[in-house]
Every structure is written in C-alpha cells, then in structure tokens.
Structure 1
Amino acid sequence: MATIGRVPEIEATKEDFDSYLEHFERWLAANEIKDEKKQTYLSCVLGPTEYGLLKGLIEPIKAVELNYAELTETLSRYFKPKPILIAERFRYYQRHQSQGETVADYILALKRLASTCEFARFLDDALRDKFVCGLTGEAYHRRLLSEKDLTFKKACDIALGLELVHRDTIELSGHAERQKGVHKVSDARGEKAHRSHTFFRPVLKVTQEQSSPHLKAKLLEMWGR
C-alpha cells in the first residue's frame, strides 16, 4: 500500500520532540497504521543517536519488548521533562510586549508560554489579563480598560484594529510630509525663475564730467529708450 506523505528521521536534539511526535502520529493516522505496528515505525524514524539513547534509557529491557505508548512516554520524559509550574508562570507573567513587536506576535508568544502554565478553565482570563497589562501603549490601555465583558478574543481584535489604524495614520502622515516637501521645492524653483527673468534697471549717477553726448546715448541704450 502506498503511503501518504513522508516522515523524516527524528533528530530530537535539533527539534522539539512533542511537535515531531504530533506530526508523526498524524502521519500514522493518515496511513491507517495499526497499533501493533506503531512501535516498529517509531523505531525506524529514530536517528542513530536517538535510538542509542532510547536503548540506554530502557536497559536492560529491549525496545521490541515495549509498546508504542511506553516508548513515546520514555522519550518524552527525557526530551521534554515536566516543567516546574511556578517557574513557567513566572516567565508568563514577566512577558511584556517588546519594542517593535507586533500585537499578533505578542499574542502568539503569550499563547505559547501559557501552554505550560496549567491554567485550565482560567486560561481565557489569564491570557486576557496578561495581554492587556503587557501591551505597550496608553491608547491600548485606555480602550481596553473601558470595555465591559472583555474576553481574550475581543481584546485581541480591538488591539489589532488599533494597531492597524495607528500604522495607517503614520503612513498617511509620511505621505503628506513628502507631498509638502515636493510643493516647497516646486515653489522655490518658481520663485527663482521669476527673479531670474525680472529686469532691474541700473540707477546711475552721472556727474557733469561724464555727461557727454556719447555717454548719455550709451545710458539711454541700456535703459531701452
């Protein structure tokens, strides 16, 4: 039977084991691999280093003597040890929006941190509270703190909208300033051209000694008379 997709060998030292395992189990389901075969497939996708590590973790038992669930649990405990809850929540509550970080990226960061905090039914409230407190910018706080029955999703939608308006305002202001600069340059060039075409007649004082008929004729010629 032809298989759907391809699962590469796992190198747990270079990637997140839980993410790989989730991908691998989806592949097993798509290809309708039976439970008794899953252990064999898992052994095949382990890289040499990871397979040697597994053997060391389960000795003196052999890998073929354990089922799929026992093998994955052994590997998960090693590559992803259970975190200390208070430390995970400390990191979560210390996370604020960084300089230049978009609202969307901040939302994603909070969700990732919250995934190991075991908030359970309190998850939505915890995300909402930290999101509002951690945003950088008084405009966000003024708007969100005035909203009744605020949920995490609603807070995210409002903040994303405010960010978009702020970004558009900056872009429009920049465009207006550039247009203003163009008009200034154009006006300056027009004024310069006007001055260059303006004829200023010289005002000469002719002394009695210089008032010869020849000189007067020259002056009249200069003045266009």
Structure 2
Amino acid sequence: MTEARPDHITSINTTFVVEGYNTSMKWNRWVKRLEVAFKVFNTANDMKACYLLHYMGSDSYDTLCNKVAPSLPEDMEYKEIVELMDKYYNPAPLEIAEAFRFHSRKQHDGESIQEYLHGLQKLAINCNSRIFEDSIKESVCLWAKFKKNTKQVTGNEESRFG
C-alpha cells in the first residue's frame, strides 16, 4: 500500500553532485560551495579529498599533478590540496599595482555613482588599504563626472559606502 505524500513535501536529491570547477570561476568561492555540499551531504572527512580531486576538473588536476610530482595528489590531505591550489589560482596581489588600478579608476560615461562606487569597492579589495572608505571618498571626489555626485559624497560626513 502506497502512502500519499502531502503536496508541500518535495524530494531531496541525495546524490552528491556539484558543478565542476573551471578556471572562469574564482577558486576560493568554488571551494566554499564544495564545502557547503560536504555539509549538506554529511561527507566524511576522509572522502573530501577524493571528491575535490574528482570535481576540480582535468585541467586543475593536471596542474596539481605537475605541482606535486613525483608525489601523487591522491596521497594528499584535503586541506593540503586546497591550500596549494589556492596559492596557484589566487596568488597574493602586488599591492602597489592594485593601488594604481584603484587610483586610476575613473567614472565612465553614463555610469551611475552607484556603479562607480561598486567598481571602486571591487578594486579596493586587493589594496590592503587601512583607510578604505577615505580612499573611495577621495577617488569619487577626484573623478566623479558631475558636481552633484561629489556633493552627494562629501555632504554627509557620517555616510558609509556599502
């Protein structure tokens, strides 16, 4: 005899399936999503490296093999693999180059102040600036195309960009 299920109950996929990594993605964000899948599927710690090696894709696997040769990736711990690949895909940015990009950013024609601020915030991530908000304020004041945008930024000392 089959029990009828209420309409509001849905089935949940119990097969571990994760989008494979490709180099157009940010490595660290992909790893975070993989770790969420580990929690969802209650993955045992000794299996995490296996899943990582499987889902990282052939290009990343080849890169890993080249980096650890003559050792084998299969003999590595999950954390070791993640750290090694993180160093490869996310090398420490050159702070001076990032600061130059940040300070060179100008507001584009037709770009709203919000879009401009978003672009500055994205560039400032790698600047390691202790005065992040002051740098953004300074850049907006220097490069904003319209005086009303500059007044909007400097008019309220307590405003925070977010």
Q: TM-score range by the shorter chain?
A: 0.7 to 0.9
CA distance in 2, matches of 1:144, 1:60: 56
Q: How does 1:69-218 map to 2 (within 5 A)?
A: 69-120=79-130, 122-147=131-156, 149-153=157-161
CA distance in 1, matches of 2:43, 2:136: 38
CA-to-aligned-CA distance 1:12-42 (integer Å, 9 cap, x gap): 2x33323322322222233332333221110
Give yes or no for contact 2:101–2:123 (8 Å, CA) kept in 1. Answer: yes
- RMSD across aligned C-alpha pairs, in angstroms? 2.3
CA distance in 2, matches of 1:25, 1:133: 42
TM-score, normalised to structure 1, is 0.59
CA drift at 1:3: 4.5
> Which protein is bigger by CA-based radius of gyration?
1
What residue number does 2:34 align with?
24
What residue number does 1:209 align with?
none
- Sequence identity, in percent? 21
CA distance in 2, matches of 1:33, 1:125: 44
CA distance in 2, matches of 1:97, 1:86: 21
What residue number does 1:7 align with?
18
Over 3 Å counting, the alpha-carbon distance change for 1:83 and 1:117 in structure 2 is same
CA distance in 2, matches of 1:25, 1:131: 38
CA drift at 1:144: 3.2
TM-score, normalised to structure 2, is 0.78
CA-to-aligned-CA distance 1:179-207 (integer Å, 9 cap, x gap): xxxxxxxxxxxxxxxxxxxxxxxxxxxxx
Structure 1 gap segments, 5+ residues each:
157-225
Higher relative contact order (CA 8 A, sep 6+): 2
CA drift at 1:78: 1.6
Q: What is the number of residues matched between the two proteins?
A: 150
Over 3 Å counting, the alpha-carbon distance change for 1:37 and 1:127 in structure 2 is farther
**Runs of 4+ deviating beyond 6 Å:** none
